[in-house]
Amino acid sequence: MNSVAEEKVLVKCYHCDSTCEEEIITHDDKPFCCTGCKTVYEILQENGLCTYYDLNENAGVSLKAANFAGKYDYLAEPAIEKQLLDFKSENLAKITFFIPSVHCSSCVWLLENFHKIQTGVLTSRLNFIKKQLFVSYDPSRVSLKEMVELLATLGYAPLFNLESADKPQRSSKEQHRLLLRIGVTGFCFGNIMLLSFPEYFQLDLQNNVDAGYQKFFLYLNFLLALPVFFFGASDYLKGAWVSLKENWKGTTRVLSVDIPIVMGISALFIRSTYETFVHQTSGYWDSMTGLVLFLLVGKWLQQVTYNYLSFEHDYKSYFPLAVRVKEQGFKNVAELKPGEVMEIHHQELIPADSLLLSEQALVDYSFVTGESAPVEVKYGDHVYAGGRQLGTRINLQVEKQVSQSYLTELWNNEAFRKDKISRTSDFANFFTRYFTYAAIGIAVVTGLYWHFHNQALVWTTVTSVLMVACPCALTLAMPFAMNAAMTILGKNRFFVKNQNVIQLLTETDAIAFDKTGTLTEGKSGNVKFTDGELSAEEKRWIGAATSQSVHPLSKLITEHLSGSVPPDEGSVTSFKEIKGEGIEAVVSGQRIRLGNALFLGVPQVGLPQDGLPHVGVPHLPKESGQVLVEINGVYKGRFSVKSKFRNGWETVLEKLSLNYILALISGDNSRDREQVAPYFNEGNMHFNLKPQDKLDFICKNQAAGRKILMIGDGLNDAGALRQAHVGVALSEDVNAFSPACDVILDAREFNRIDEFIGFSRIAMNVVVAAFALSVLYNIVGISLAVSGHLSPLYAAVFMPLSSMSVVLFAVGCTYLFAKLKKLI
Amino acid sequence: MSVIIFLVVLVLIIAGGFLISFFWATKDGQFDDTYTPSVRILFDDEKEENPSSK
C-alpha cells in the first residue's frame, strides 16, 4: 500500500504542479491531477496560449475544489451588474475585477491575453501588485457572467463581495498631487542651485559683465522660487493656517508642526525677497527650495505604504454581494428589507438577521464568535448574520437590514466612527508643543538684545534665527528612520499600516490575545489515534462515516484520515448522528460507531476494567476532544483532538510576559484553559466572549490607563482590533482579507512578535538620537545666527548638510541595528 | 556675451518641457503601478502568427 502511494507522489500535474493523488488524467501525453486542470490546458491549447507554461513552471492554479455551478448567477441580474461596472454603453463596458489567485508572471500574460480566449473582450490589463484586472468588453457579444465563469474555469475566479458594489474612491489623486509638487520643487531647486554657482565663487561686481549676470541670476532665482513657495509648500502653509485658526478658536491647544516649518520657510522667503530687491544681493533661495524639497520627499516617504495590503476592511468584505430573494431574483444584500424571504445554500453566509422558515438548519458561527461548534436552529428561531449555513438549502425571512444586524452593529460603534489616524504619539505631541514656543522665544530675545546693542542687526538676526530654527532636520529624521524600520519589518512579514503605528507600538504596555486562529492554528486540530492500530480499510470506513457529519470533530477526523487514504463515501448505507454523543453508520456492511465514552459505554477514568463489555480499554483521561472508535462492537482505540497551537507560542508568551501584562480574550469555550493558564493571570483569561465583549474589554482597560496591543485574526476581533492602541491582525495569507487593523502579521512569524516590538523600540530610540543630533545642529546654527554671522553661503552649506547628515544617521542606524538583531 | 543669458533661458524652456511631460505622466497614472510593466515587457508578441506552436 505504502509503496504504491510513494510512486504516485512522483507524478506532478502539468498545469498546477500539485501531486496527483487520486487519479492521473493523461491528455496530450501530459499528466493532470483533475479534470479542471485538464480543461484549462485544453482551453489554452485551443487558443494557442501554451506559452503560459513556458514562462513559469507550476504556473496554474489548482482547480480541485472548483465548483461554481450557479455560483455566479447573480451577475446576470441587471441591477447587480450595474453596480459592478465602472462604465457601460451599448457597445462598451468596463469593469475592474479583484483576482486573489494572481501569483506569477504567467498570470499576467494569460490575463492580458484574455481577449484571445473570450470573444467580445476588447482589452484586459492587470495590476499585478493590487491583483486587479481592468477589462473592457462589448456587452452585446459577451455577458459579465460568461466572462466571470470563464475566468473561474481558468482558475482566476474574481472575488465579489458587498464591498465590490461600492465604487472605490481614487485615493491616488492625493499621491499624484504630492508627486507633482516634488517634481516642480525639484526642478526649481536644481535650476536655482546652478544659477547660484557664480555667487558661490564670488562675482566681481565692479566688472560690468559680471554685475549684469548677477542681476539676471538674481531675478531668475526669484521667479523660480515663486512656484516652490506657493505651490510646493502650499500644504504646509495651509496646515499652519488651519492650526492657527483652531488655536485661535480654542478648539485645540497644540500647535501643529507645520507652524515652525512655515515660520522658517516664510522667513527665508521674505528675507530673500528683501535681499534681492533692496540690496540686490543673493538671498537664501537655494536653502529655501532645498528645504521644501527635502520636506516633500520626507512626506512622500511617510505616506508610502504596502499598497497591495488593505488595512481598512469591514464586514462588507466578508459578506456576499447578492442573495436570491423569493419572487424577486437576485438582490444586492445591502438592499434587503425586513420581511423578504431569502434562500441560502450550503456553505453560504447568512447576510442579515432573520427568522428560519425551514424546518431546521445548522449554522456555523465560528466566523462571528470564534466558537467552533455549529449551532442547531429550529423553525422560527433567530439566525444571526455572519453565520454560515451547513447542509441543505434553507429559507430565511429577513428581520433587520444588513447594516443594523447583530454583527454589523459592531461597526456602528464609536470605535469605527472616529478616524484612528488622529491618534498621535506622545512623543510627537511633546515635540510640537514646545518647539514652536522655543523658536519664537529665542527669536524675540535675540531681537530685543540687538535692539539695545546694534539696531541695524535686529532684522538680520531675527530672520536668521527663524530660518535656522526651522525643524527640518527634526521633521526629516522621523519619516526616514520610520520608513527604514517599516521596510525592515515588512521584509519579516510584519506589515505596519503607516509610520505612526511604529510609534504607537512602542507605547503599548499590555497585550490581549485572541485564541482561535491566533494562539492556535485556525480551526485545524492535532488529531492523533491512540490505544490501537487501524488498518487502511478501517480508516477508509471511518473516513466515510465521519464525512457525513458536520460536527467539527468529525470534520477534523475526516481531514486527518483523508491524508492517508481517501474515504470511500459511496459505501455508507446507513447514518445516524446523536447530538452531543456521537455517530453511528454502516459502511460496506460494517457497523461503525464513533463518539464519546458515554455513547460507546466505555468507562471513565480510574474505573476497574473487569467485567466490562470492552476488554483492553485503558484508563481514559476525562477531557473533551476524545472520539472513541468501535467497529462491529469491538473497541478499536480513540482519536484525541487537541487545538493545534502555533509553533513557539509558549516561548513567545513567556518572553512577552516579562514586560507586558498579558490577557486572553477568546470567543471559544474554555476547553483549552489548562493549556494556556501558565501564561495568563487568572483574572485575565476570558472565554465565551462576544465581539462586543471583546471591544468592551479593551475599552475598560483603556479607561484604566493601559495601552493595549490586540492580536487577533477574525471578524469577531474586529471591534477590539480597532479600539486597541495597536491592532495586529494575524493572517495565514497576507493577501487575503483581514479585518481592519494597524498591522498585518504573517501567521508564520507569530513566534517572533517580541522581536518586532523590540525592534520598533530601537527604531524609536534611533529617532530620538537623530533628534538630539539635529538639536545640536540647531544650537550651533542658532548661535551663528544670534551673533549675526549667518551669511547666505553659510546657510546654503549648513542647512542641507545638517538635514542630510541627520537623515543618513537615522537610516544608517536603523539598518545597523536591524543587522545586529538579524532582521535583515 | 548675452549668449549665456539666451542659453539659460533656452535651457529652462527645454527643461520645462520635461517638467510638463512629467505632469502628463503622473496624471496618466504611469506611477500608479510600477511593477506590472516590468513583467509585461518580457512577453513576446509574435505568438499570434503561429497559434498552435508548442
Q: Given this model, what pLDDT does residue A421 score?
A: 46
**Residue A663, pLDDT score:** 92
pLDDT in tens, A694-712: 888 998 998 898 889 999 8
Statement: residue A449 has pLDDT above 80: yes
Q: What stretch of H or E contains A424?
A: none
Checking if the pLDDT of A447 tops 80, the result is yes
Identity of the highest mean pLDDT range in A125-139, A148-162, A421-435, A566-580 = A125-139
- The answer to whether A173 faces chain B, any CB pair under 8 Å, is no
A6 compared with A372, residue with greater pLDDT: A372
Contact check, Cβ <8 Å, B23/A183: yes
> CA-to-CA distance for A49 and A418, rounded, in angstroms?
50
Question: How would you class A69 by CB atoms within 10 Å of its CB: exposed for 0-12, middle for 13-18, buried for 19 or more?
Answer: exposed
Predicted confidence at residue A184, as pLDDT, reads: 96
Q: Do residues A309 and A735 touch, judged by C-beta distance below 8 A?
A: yes
Place of cell 502653509: A237
Q: What is the pLDDT at residue A614?
A: 41
CB contacts, 8 Å: A49 with chain B: 47
When pLDDT is averaged across residues A341-367 and rounded to a whole number, the result is: 83
- Res A684 pLDDT > 60: yes
User: Any CB–CB contact under 8 A between A223 and chain B?
Assistant: no
Cβ-Cβ contacts under 8 Å, A126 against chain B: 36
If one compares A396 and A410, the residue with the highest pLDDT of the two is: A396
> Which of A179, A187, A195 comes nearest B26 by C-beta?
A179
Cβ within 8 Å, pair B1-A209: yes
Query: CB A128 to CB B47 under 8 A?
Result: no
Percentage of residues of chain A with pLDDT beyond 90 = 15
Is residue A620 predicted with pLDDT exceeding 90? no
In this structure, are residues A447 and A458 in contact, taking their beta carbons and an 8 Å threshold? yes
pLDDT for the residue numbered A136: 93
Contact A106, A17 (CB under 8 A): no
Task: Pick the range with the lowest mean pLDDT from A7-16, A523-532, A683-692.
Answer: A7-16
Q: Is A751 helix (H, G, I), strand (E, B) or coil?
A: helix
Average confidence (pLDDT) over A320-329: 82
The mean per-residue pLDDT over the stretch A86-113 comes to 85
Q: Does A50 touch chain B (CB under 8 A)?
A: yes
Q: How many CB pairs under 8 A join A and B?
A: 67
Give which of A137, A57, A33 is closest to A91, Cα–Cα: A137
For B18, the closest chain A residue by CA position comes to A187
pLDDT-derived band at A454, boundaries 50, 70, 90: confident
Q: Determine contact, residues A93/A87, Cβ cutoff 8 Å.
A: yes
Distance CA A354, CA A605 (A): 44
Predicted confidence band of residue A617 (pLDDT cuts 50, 70, 90): very low
Q: B36 and A213 in contact by Cβ < 8 A? A: no
The answer to whether residue A517 scores a pLDDT higher than 90 is no
Q: What is the pLDDT of residue A277?
A: 92
Exposure class string for B23-45: b at 16+ Cβ within 10 A, else e: eeebeeeeebbeebeebbeeeee
Q: What is the pLDDT of residue A3?
A: 42
A375-378 and A360-364 beta bridge pairing: antiparallel
Q: Are A707 and A695 in contact (CB under 8 A)?
A: no
pLDDT average, residue stretch A428-446: 80
Nearest to B35 among A128, A183, A213 (CB): A128
Q: What is the pLDDT of residues A20-72, one digit of tens each?
A: 666 677 887 888 777 777 777 888 888 777 777 777 666 666 665 455 667 78
Is A183–B42 a contact, with Cβ atoms under 8 angstroms apart?
no
What's the burial of A237, exposed, middle or buried (CB within 10 Å: 0-12/13-18/19+)? Answer: middle
Q: Answer whether residue A210 shows pLDDT above 70.
A: yes
Neighboring chain A residues of B35 at a CB cutoff of 8 Å: 128-129
Mean pLDDT of chain A: 80
Closest approach of chain A CAs to the CA of B51, in angstroms?
Answer: 4
By Cβ distance, the residue of A47, A105, A129 closest to B33 is A129
Chain A partners within 8 Å of B42 (Cβ): 105
- Is B53 in the A-facing interface, judged by CB distances under 8 Å? yes
Is the CB of A43 inside 8 Å of chain B's CB atoms?
Answer: no
Distance CA A740, CA A734 (A): 13
Q: From the candidates A30, A108, A134, A203, which should be mutated to test the interface with B, based on the most B CB atoms within 10 A? A: A108
| More confidently predicted of A225 and A116 | A225
Copy the grid coordinates of residue A174.
492625493
Tell me whether residues A48 and B39 touch, CB distance under 8 A.
Answer: no
Residue A283 phi/psi, 5° resolution?
Answer: -95, -145
Interface contact A306, partner B, CB < 8 A = no
Of the candidates A45, A109, A191, the beta carbon closest to that of B12 is on A191
Q: What residue ranges define each of the domains in chain A, with the CATH number in brackets?
A: 2-55 (no CATH), 73-160 (3.30.70.100), 315-412 (2.70.150.10), 497-521+646-756 (3.40.50.1000), 523-645 (3.40.1110.10)
Please judge whether B33 and A184 are an interchain contact, meaning their C-beta atoms are less than 8 angstroms apart: no
What separation in angstroms does the CA of A197 have from each of A191, A208, A282, A793? 10, 18, 11, 11
List the single residue in A127, A176, A191 with the smallest CB-CB distance to B36: A127
C-alpha cell at A739: 479585518
- Residue A786 binned pLDDT confidence (cut-offs 50, 70, 90): confident
Question: Would you state the cell numbers that stand for residue A484, as one nine-digit string?
Answer: 527604514
Put simply, whether B14 touches A (Cβ < 8 Å) is: no
Tell me the C-alpha distance between A464 and A670, whole Å: 67
pLDDT band at A137 (very low <50, low <70, confident <90, very high): very high
Burial of A520 (0-12, 13-18, 19+ CB in 10 A): buried
pLDDT of A661 higher than 80:
yes
Is B15 close to A191, i.e. CB distance below 8 A? Answer: yes
| Enclosing H/E stretch for A273 | helix A258-274
Contact A183 B39 (CB under 8 A): no
B53·A48 Cβ contact <8 A: yes
CA A476 to chain CA centroid, nearest Å: 26
Give the distance from residue B39's alpha carbon to the nearest chain A alpha carbon, in angstroms. Answer: 6
Of A128, A179, A184, the CB nearest to B36: A128
pLDDT at res. B10: 95
Q: Decide if pLDDT at A7 tops 70.
A: no
The predicted structure's pLDDT at residue A169: 55
For residue A742, the model assigns a pLDDT of 87
Alpha helices by DSSP H, A47-96 = 51-55, 78-84
Q: B40 CB near a chain A CB, below 8 Å?
A: yes
Q: Average pLDDT for residues A584-607, to the nearest whole number?
A: 73
Instruction: Find where cell 539696531 sits.
Output: A455
B50–A127 C-beta distance less than 8 A:
no
Q: Lowest mean pLDDT of A42-46, A432-436, A735-739, name the range.
A: A735-739
Residues of A in contact with B37 (CB under 8 A): none
Pick B31's closest partner by Cβ from A54, A109, A179. Answer: A179
- Chain A positions touching B31 (Cβ under 8 A) are 175-176, 179
**DSSP string for A108-166:** HHHHHTHHHHSTTEEEEEEETTTTEEEEEE-TTT--HHHHHHHHHHTT-PPP--GGGGS
Q: Which of B30, B52, B54 to mutate to test the interface with A (most CBs of A within 10 A)?
A: B54
pLDDT > 60? residue A523: no
Q: Cα angle at A222 between A217 and A224, to 5 degrees?
A: 90
Q: How far is CA B7 from CA A198, B11, B13, B14, in A?
A: 16, 6, 10, 10
A209 touches chain B (CB under 8 A): yes
Note the residue count of chain A.
824
pLDDT of A20 reads 67
| C-beta separation of A96 from A146 below 8 A | no
What is the average pLDDT across A430-445?
81
- Between residues A148 and A624, the one the model is more confident about: A148
A231 touches chain B (CB under 8 A): no
Cα distance from A128 to chain B (closest Cα, Å)?
Answer: 5
List pLDDT tens digits, range A753-768.
999 999 999 999 998 8
CA angle A342, A344, A348 (to 5 degrees): 135
> Are the Cβ atoms of B47 and A51 closer than 8 angstroms?
yes
Is B31 touching A (CB cutoff 8 A)? yes
Contact A54 B54 (CB under 8 A): yes
Q: Which three cell numbers stand for residue A212?
A: 549684469
pLDDT confidence of residue A569:
58
- On the question of pLDDT at A734 being above 50, the answer is yes
Give, in degrees to the nearest 5, the angle at Cα A359 between A354 and A361. Answer: 65
C-alpha distance from B2 to closest chain A C-alpha (Å): 9
The neighbour count for residue A211, using CB atoms within 10 Å, is 14
A54 touches chain B (CB under 8 A): yes
Contacts with A179 from chain B: Cβ below 8 Å: 26, 31
Asked whether the beta carbons of A295 and A476 are under 8 A apart, the reply is: yes
Confidence of residue A612 (pLDDT cuts 50, 70, 90): very low
- Report CB contact under 8 Å: A176, B27: yes
Query: What digits encode the pLDDT tens for the residues B4-50?
Result: 889 999 999 999 999 999 999 998 888 888 888 888 888 776 555 44
